């Protein structure tokens, strides 16, 4: 089986798993439409030559699942923290603008890292370049948490990908 066929099959399986996970529909009609839409997307992507042949879509699957669980926990705990700060009287915020060193080598990992920071309530990524990322934080505690590098370490990055 050629590399292109394996690549398209794994992309189809991953896209359908994502569709199924987001929809959660077990109806035969909806499952059929989900399979059909997934196959159409892969077919059109292949015909338009927009599928990146260098990266295998299933390569980072387990790492991405771990990261999504990590990010979900972070988003939930940050939401709770922001709500507490809103309802707690007094000065409980200490807004900060700071830079973090960019430890990610690939463009995709940099984007995932910056978006993860922005998705977490109380923090927003202001600027990204190859050397640093500028972040605005609602509190010193969330800034310190980002400085610890836990989120940067959690972002998956395939060492086999070329540095861009």
Instruction: State the residue range of the domain holding 69.
Output: 61-154
Within a domain: 54: no
Within a domain: 53: no
The pLDDT, as a whole number, for residue 164 is: 44
Q: What is the DSSP string of 1-28?
A: --HHHHHHHHHHHHHHHHHHHHH----H
Residue located via tokens 């035969």: 28
Clarify whether residues 92 and 135 are in a common domain. Answer: yes
DSSP state of 121: T
Clarify whether residues 133 and 83 are in a common domain. Answer: yes
Clarify whether residues 10 and 37 are in a common domain. Answer: yes
In DSSP terms, 49 is beta-bridged to none
| Residue ranges of the chain whose pLDDT lies below 50 | 162-164
The pLDDT, as a whole number, for residue 52 is: 63
> In this structure, are residues 85 and 93 in contact, taking their beta carbons and an 8 Å threshold?
yes
Tokens of 105: 């080598």
Within a domain: 101: yes
Q: What percent of the chain has pLDDT over 90?
A: 52
Phi, psi of 101 (to 5 degrees): -70, 140
Clarify whether residues 37 and 109 are in a common domain. Answer: no
Catalogue the E-assigned strands of the chain: 96-101, 123-128, 132-137
pTM: 0.69
Q: Give the Cα separation of 140 and 124 in Å (integer).
A: 14
CA 81 to chain centre: 21
Sheet holding 123-128, edge to edge: 96-101, 132-137, 123-128
Q: How many domains does the chain have?
A: 2
> In this structure, are residues 154 and 70 in contact, taking their beta carbons and an 8 Å threshold?
yes
Tokens of 125: 């990524």
Clarify whether residues 149 and 81 are in a common domain. Answer: yes
The pLDDT, as a whole number, for residue 47 is: 85
Q: Give the Cα separation of 85 and 83 in Å (integer).
A: 5
Within a domain: 161: no
Clarify whether residues 80 and 108 are in a common domain. Answer: yes
The pLDDT, as a whole number, for residue 114 is: 94
Clarify whether residues 93 and 67 are in a common domain. Answer: yes
């Amino acid at each position: 089986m050629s590399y292109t066929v394996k690549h398209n099959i794994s992309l189809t399986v991953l896209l359908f798993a994502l569709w199924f996970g987001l929809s959660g529909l077990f109806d035969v009609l909806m499952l059929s439409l989900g399979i059909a839409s997934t196959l159409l997307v892969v077919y059109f992507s292949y015909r338009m030559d927009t599928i990146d042949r260098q990266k295998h879509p299933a390569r980072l699957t387990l790492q991405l699942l771990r990261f999504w669980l990590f990010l979900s926990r972070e988003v939930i705990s940050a939401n709770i923290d922001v709500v507490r700060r809103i309802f707690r009287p007094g000065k409980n915020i200490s807004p900060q603008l700071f830079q973090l060193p960019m430890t990610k080598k690939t463009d995709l990992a940099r984007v995932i890292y910056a978006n993860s920071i922005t998705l977490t309530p109380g923090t927003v990524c202001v600027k990204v370049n190859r050397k640093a990322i500028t972040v605005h934080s609602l509190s010193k505690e969330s800034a310190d948490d980002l400085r610890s590098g836990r989120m940067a370490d959690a972002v998956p990055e395939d060492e086999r990908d070329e540095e861009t």
